[in-house]
Amino acid sequence: MRPHRISRAEARRVAVRAQLLDARRPADLLAAVTHLTFLQLDPTAAVAPSADLVAWCRFGAGYRPAHLQQAVERDRTLYEHNAFVRPMADLGLHLAEMAAWPGEGTRTHAWLTANDSFRRYVLDLLRDSGPLLSREVPDRSVVPWPSTGWTNNRNVTQMLEFLAARGEVAIAGRIGRQRRWDLAERVYPAGTRVVPEEEARRIRDERRLRSLGVARASIVGEAGEPAEVEGTTGGWRVDPAALDQPFAGRTALLSPFDRLVHDRKRLRELFDFEYVLEMYVPRARRRWGYFALPVLHHDRLVGKVDATADRKAGVLRVHTVHQDVPFDGETAAAVRAELAALAAWLELTDVSFAGD
């Protein structure tokens, strides 16, 4: 098959539409997450938790964090696994991979083998008393989990994480930021078909490309059709159904974890945009801010907004607006309007710009 030849502008518009960031806002949370394939969770909430920020910038003022919580905890149409929220209908696409984890010969496999009595104790405890918070599970490990990082000797948390990764336990819900753990059989639907791993990988690649529109084959395998993007090297795949579609853009403030900006190489090639999440960068070396929000304007990424939700003062504090492309009057007004909308959604009474 001859590759599709597309301009960078068309590639950008395909990518923006695919991520539900054009002018046509989605109306249904489950349908949107199914299309996007997941929402990524992260505890950082300088502005708002990332999953909620990703949802808000697609749905707008009508979205509430309680909607996501209800879908996970009550309706069970979504499930939380490995720091992602996914559609429950897609569970079968991941079960084979979960069952095969971790591979023999790995450090995790050796630790689980040494702590098999601890594993069985945790499963029995959850069966009798679950769902439970991790602090409600006694540490009966035989061998502690060794690490030079924060997980060192956090044996209960590691066991629960590993059992969840294997599909033996699952997250039943949360109390604040704390996860409530239970047996997977009481969270996941009975009789879920386990899609064979090769078939599941192919389907996941197809859905990933549909959510991205255009991506490298290294990300989406053989999904879609080959493409050449103007001014870039080869190796692209494109969702053919996304080509030659009308485009109407809007302005959006994106989470640093938003999938439109997640692939930094693709970001440079298609959008000519440089971005680094600087929350782990020493303050003196930051260029854009602790949790700077990329600014999408139509089909271009035009800047970053360094902002913090000061809930005590009831104000969205905008420390700096970085203009990668100088804002004209229309762009500046659109960014200010989006900041006001963000503050209103956060139930803050005002937007405060540094120097005002």
Q: Which domains does the chain show, CATH number per domain?
A: 107-186 (1.10.10.10), 247-353 (3.40.630)
Distances (CA, A) of 156 to 3, 123, 134, 166: 51, 12, 7, 15
Helix spans in 151-263 (H):
155-165, 197-212, 217-220, 259-262
115-174 pLDDT tens trace? 999 999 999 999 999 899 999 999 999 999 988 888 888 999 999 999 999 999 999 999
Q: Is the pLDDT of residue 346 over 70?
A: yes
Q: Is 318 helix (H, G, I), strand (E, B) or coil?
A: strand
**Which sign does the torsion angle of CA 107, 108, 111, 116 carry?**
negative
**Which sign does the torsion angle of CA 355, 257, 262, 18 carry?**
negative
Q: What's the pLDDT at 153?
A: 86
Rounded CA gap, 51 and 85, in Å? 8
Distances (CA, A) of 140 to 49, 82, 106, 154: 33, 23, 22, 11
216-270 pLDDT tens trace? 999 999 999 999 999 999 899 999 999 999 999 999 999 999 999 999 999 999 9
Q: Is 351 helix (H, G, I), strand (E, B) or coil?
A: strand
- Give the angle 102-41-261 at the CA atoms, nearest 5°: 100
Contact between residue 303 and residue 321 where contact means Cβ atoms under 8 Å apart:
yes
**Which sign does the torsion angle of CA 139, 145, 148, 151 carry?**
negative
* Assigned token pair, 18: 């695919």
First-residue to last-residue Cα distance in the chain: 58
Sheet holding 293-297, edge to edge: 251-253, 293-297, 300-310, 315-323, 350-353
Q: What's the pLDDT at 356?
A: 61
Phi, psi torsion values for 240, nearest 5 degrees: -60, -30
Output DSSP code: residue 281: S
pTM of the model: 0.94
Buried b (16+ CB within 10 A) or exposed e, 173-199: beeeeebbbbbbeebbeeeeebbeeee
266-305 pLDDT tens trace? 999 999 999 999 999 999 999 999 999 999 999 999 999 9
